Structure 1
């Protein structure tokens, strides 16, 4: 088992999704049980499903200084940076530590692939149109290049692309960078936007629900896709009331390209390692934000893992009924939702779900519950069996 790590302070965090911009909008939606999902109005080709779309991206080009980076994904990143004073927090962090000592670790599944799709749709005599010819739009590191230019960080700059666990794993990478002395602080960013290849690709796998997703419901029919930008600032020390990253666990079971291991071996390993690094026993965990995609196999496997590890004193639920599955941004978005749940001592029940799957144990919350949350976990599981569990705690 891994050794216990020193907790790190989360000195700032924010999220932008279909629920709105910033922490207050997300907290209000959780408390009101108000979903951001709506009928698909994104794809020009018909696809009957629900999506979690962020308003205003089409009408919000990047500032002229960053015109060569203009894409839907980078627009969402810029919009997200403006929420909760996060951009100012990063600049203050750079003043404290120096630009060369602040790392930038980003997680994204599709990056700016939407811009590449658009370029092919608008081919001009076999060439990309001029406004989509910038090479940095057509690379998996597009998000990292843009954010480094916008933020002014000069430390290590890494992109993690491990499907749906991408922006959970950036917490683990940042912890290692700080522990090894390669940086004194890390900006964490997870951004993914809707695009045709993802919507129709998941639909081809028969994983997209024609209605809003219903995590862990007995009659669930699949996932709803969404888009989001999440950011966090990780430092060794912070204010007394700043939440802490207590631990993380990572694994890769490589069982199948798109199906989880039937016994959840990778998920179990990630969970066990997160608890070990945090120095926690399962009974000390108050809440777990599950991956909960509302697909048949993922939810069944994750429910079985929960039943084996936790008793009813630990409450568990999934929040994708609010936001949809935001792919590479899911890890950091759901970490932000978990931190908000801790702030308000609210267990957000599984939204849209009414009849629990028989595999669900007594730990599951389907309605919102008010209860103290001192320690919480967040699960993120990606295609190919790439898994990550994060452990968070109150400062005290």
Structure 2
């Protein structure tokens, strides 16, 4: 595929706001996980006994008055993330170059603003006839839809091109890169703002706990004694346009997608979808697996997912690959995982600092030598990849390099 230049990129996670906060925490092996202090209104219970990756300060973020109808925890995080690392300036440059109608908005989320919907139901006001009424302050249909994030980002940026909200569970904000590439390739847009945001809420915490996937301790991806994931929240964005012959900066070189549809929440036991996505991304980038220097793994720390991904990676890549999961730093940020871990792959590509895997000590015997637990390594890279695999077999792999 023709490369797409990345004009700006950013992430805000439990590690802090912006790229530098992510890079510093990765370098120092400092986790953003904390004991769960997020009490979900809809649950009516004490917080789950687990660890989470919470973004500080969201409760106090105020949206501009003209964006107040979209106010929710999720859209506040989107607003916060947009303020960093030159994203706003890059959007302005795209508008100036192509016009607002030629710049697409493609964002991913798993739960959108469902936290606001939970609060609305928890605070139902009973009428004299016994029916419940949503409180006036939450009677805002704009926040109670899956497209709330896309609609908000379009309003916040002034972009007027195609606007898409992708919801394929944990691969959502990886698939936005593929969607943007297709829109630009088809001539429907000249540039795109891509990204993803997901925030903590009762449905996320108690839903994953009901699936028996939440660990009581900080997650340990690919560890022989791993017991489950740690949930987190995050937001991130990137600005893409066609690369020119003069470009030598960071770019999207390839994407691969698959949908094995093996099970609603369990990956294909032979890693069929994972292999298809990775092979397709390499083929679209026009490179061999041996040319990839760093792979950010999906690595959720659940027993089944990690074993399947490790086998798929070992079958495709040589022993020299440096692969690791960064969810021990940020938690599993669900629909935002794709953009967050793409940002980390881009940081590795830009600075040559390859993170290992945090909290994990004893590798599962099923893991190949590609999966590293050690401290960050310094190594020059030509290509970096990111894997994001979602429920229902919705898989996506991305290849980043230089134009």
Aligned to 1:75: 76
Question: Does the 8 A contact of 1:347 with 1:365 survive in 2?
Answer: no
Task: Provide the rounded CA distance (Å) in 1 between the counterparts of 2:24 and 2:109.
Answer: 26
Q: Which sections of structure 2, spanning at least 5 residues, go unmatched? A: 41-45, 127-131
What is the CA deviation profile of residues 147-166 of structure 1, one whole-angstrom value per residue up to 9, with x for unaligned ones?
Answer: 11110111100110000000
Rounded Cα–Cα distance in structure 1 between residues aligned with 2:158 and 2:248: 27
Alignment of 1:191 with 2:197, yes or no, is yes
Report the count of equivalent residues: 391
Map Cα deviations across residues 186-231 of structure 1 (whole Å, 9 max, x no partner).
0002000000111000001000000000100011110000000010
Query: Could you tell me which residue of structure 1 aligns to residue 43 of structure 2?
Result: none
The aligned residue for residue 373 of structure 1 is 381
Cα displacement (A) at 1:65: 1.2
Task: Supply the distance in 1 between the matched residues of 2:322 and 2:215 (Cα, whole angstroms).
Answer: 26
Which of the residues 271, 275, 283 maps onto 1:268?
Answer: 275
Q: Secondary structure at the match of 1:84?
A: coil
Pick from 185, 191, 211 the counterpart of residue 205 of structure 1: 211
Secondary structure in 2 aligned to 1:307?
Answer: helix
The alignment partner of 1:269 has SS state of: helix
Match runs of 1:287-302 below 5 Å: 287-302=294-309
Q: Give the corresponding residue for 2:225.
A: 219
| 1:337 maps to which of 334, 344, 351 | 344
Shift of 1:283: 0.8
TM-score (norm 2): 0.96
In the aligned structure 1, how far is the partner of 2:89 from the partner of 2:53?
Answer: 28
CA–CA distance in structure 2, aligned partners of residues 375 and 349 of structure 1: 17
Structure 1 stretches (4+) deviating beyond 2 angstroms? 237-242
Residue in structure 1 matched with residue 104 of structure 2 by the alignment: 103
Correspondences of 1:1-396 after superposition (within 5 Å): 5-43=1-39, 45-125=46-126, 126-237=132-243, 240-367=247-374, 368-395=376-403
| RMSD over equivalenced CA pairs, Å | 1.0
Three-state SS of the structure 2 residue aligned to 1:286 is strand
Distance 1:325 1:374 in 2: 27
SS in 1 for 2:25: helix
Q: Please, what TM-score do these two structures have when normalized by structure 1?
A: 0.97
